[in-house]
Amino acid sequence: QVQLVESGGGLVQPGGSLRLSCASSESVFSMNAMGWYRQAPGKERELVARITRGGSIDSAASVKGRFTISRDNAKNTVYLQMNSLKPEDTAVYYCYADSPSFPTYNRYWGQGTQVTVSS
């Protein structure tokens, strides 16, 4: 059982920045992938960014050039640096981890952290 604890959400003005953190109870390097989804009111959950064990990164077109995902193996933490925030980035952000479980994997979720972009 992997436990994920998110932090760093809050209220920020348009154009501002936030950094989300996701601390894992297990080695982040051992995960097939880790990343962030978000869900805005009335909308489906969408993938924001992910990083694989090998270090490959994927991110949604809507956040490219503004959001950066990174990983600190020593701290077992994944980060999401969010710059140039827009009101449409307002959502609950969820960290996830895909832990290997042959022949596939188990997906674990954090509790979510609220990000509100508003003046």
pLDDT digits (tens, 9 = 90+) for 87-97: 999 999 999 99
Per-residue pLDDT, 109? 97
pLDDT digits (tens, 9 = 90+) for 50-91: 999 999 999 999 999 999 999 999 999 999 999 999 999 999
* Residue 73 CB-density burial (10 A; 0-12 exposed, 13-18 middle, 19+ buried): exposed
Give yes or no for a contact between 64 and 89, defined as CB atoms under 8 angstroms apart.
no
Per-residue pLDDT, 14? 98
What is the rounded CA–CA span in Å between residue 75 and residue 66? 24
Per-residue pLDDT, 31? 92
Taking residues 18-36, what's their average pLDDT? Answer: 95
Per-residue pLDDT, 56? 96
Taking residues 16-40, what's their average pLDDT? Answer: 95
Per-residue pLDDT, 96? 98
Question: To which residue do tokens 């596939």 refer?
Answer: 104
Taking residues 96-118, what's their average pLDDT? Answer: 95
What b/e sequence results for 8-40 when a residue is b if at least 16 CB atoms lie within 10 Å of its CB, and e otherwise? bbeebeeeeebebbbbbeeebeebbbbbbbbee
What is the rounded CA–CA span in Å between residue 74 and residue 51? 16
Per-residue pLDDT, 43? 95
Per-residue pLDDT, 57? 97
